[in-house]
Every structure is written in C-alpha cells, then in structure tokens.
Amino acid sequence: MSVRPIIILPDPRLRLVSEPVTAIDDDIRRLVEDMFDTMYDAPGIGLAAIQIGVPKRVVTVDLAKKDEPRAPQVFINPEILARSEETSVYEEGCLSIPDVHEDVERPARIRVRYLDLDGKPHEIEADGLLATCLQHEIDHLNGILFIDHISKLKRDRILKKFAKAAKRAAG
C-alpha cells in the first residue's frame, strides 16, 4: 500500500484508452489499494488507474463526506449500459488537472455494469454525484478529460496554462 504520483496534464498518458482487466489477481488488488491510498491522500472522490500511470480499466470512488466513515467502491471494467436523456450540471475538478473547476453537463442517471474485487459482475443505477463521478472516471479510461466537455475557448486556455507550467517545470 502506497501513495503513487498522480500524472498531470499535459501528460500524454491521460489520453490513452485503458486495457480491460483480464484477471483479478494480487497485482490488481495491490493497484486498488494504492489507488485508494493515493485518492485519499490527494484528497479526491474518484480515481482512474491511468491517473497513476496504469492503463487498466479500474476506478476507485468514495463519496463519503469528511465527517462520515469511508465508503470505498471499486469498479473493474466498468461500462455504461444506459444514460438518461435528462441531464444535470456539476462543478467538476480532477486530480490530474489541479485547481481547475468547471461546470459540466452530463446525463443525470446512468446504468453501469462492472466487476468487483472478487470478479463478480454487478449492475447499478446511479444518479446525482455518483453518476457524475462514474462518468468522469469512465471517461478517463477512454482517454477523455472533463475539460473535453466544456467550451473550446475554456479548454484551450486550460491546456495552454498546463503546457506552460510543464515547460517551466522541465527547465
């Protein structure tokens, strides 16, 4: 169990399409533990494996508030089966795009199929923050960032800012 570095925009790995998990073994269990450690340390409410440089279809989520006990959830090979026509708007942020928050409109309800850590298949109906969070994290698995859902002008400004910061950091 360890906190791993989170990759930051404009790292090209954030645009990779993650590979399905073919076996839930000790490596995947260790990855999930590290993802939770990293997500809680950040702190964040969701993390996709690619955000720590692992292109596997694994997502961790915990929507518990600070004063509530932790409620960790793991989604392996998640796929969205259905989306509502009704939409909702949440202010989203991302651990890979620090200090940026924008309103994003997404389907208000989704149905997701996934595997748990025992390899058992599940389907859930999600709405509210869970629906938004799952859509955000599943987007990561497909190389899509939340800024891809905002205006081109805002997105370009954010991309330019992070490209400059990366250049400065590289010296």
pLDDT at 105: 97
The Cα 44–Cα 110 span in angstroms is 21
The Cα 141–Cα 147 span in angstroms is 15
Average of per-residue pLDDT across 128-134: 98
Question: For residue 2, which phi and psi values (nearest 5 degrees)?
Answer: -155, 160
Mean of per-residue pLDDT scores for the chain: 97
For residue range 48-94, what is the model confidence (pLDDT) as tens digits? 999 999 999 999 999 999 899 999 999 999 999 999 999 999 999 99
Q: Which residues are marked as active site?
A: 137
Q: pTM (2 decimals)?
A: 0.96
Domains in the chain, please, with CATH? Answer: 12-170 (3.90.45.10)
Percent of the chain past pLDDT 70, that is, above it, reads 100
pLDDT at 78: 98
Q: Give the H/E segment covering residue 84.
A: none
For residue range 95-122, what is the model confidence (pLDDT) as tens digits? 999 999 999 999 999 999 999 999 999 9
Percent of the chain past pLDDT 90, that is, above it, reads 97
pLDDT band for 1, please (50, 70, 90 cuts): confident
pLDDT at 162: 96
Using the CB atoms, write b or e for 40-65: b if 16+ within 10 Å: beeebbbbbbbbbebebbbbbbbeee
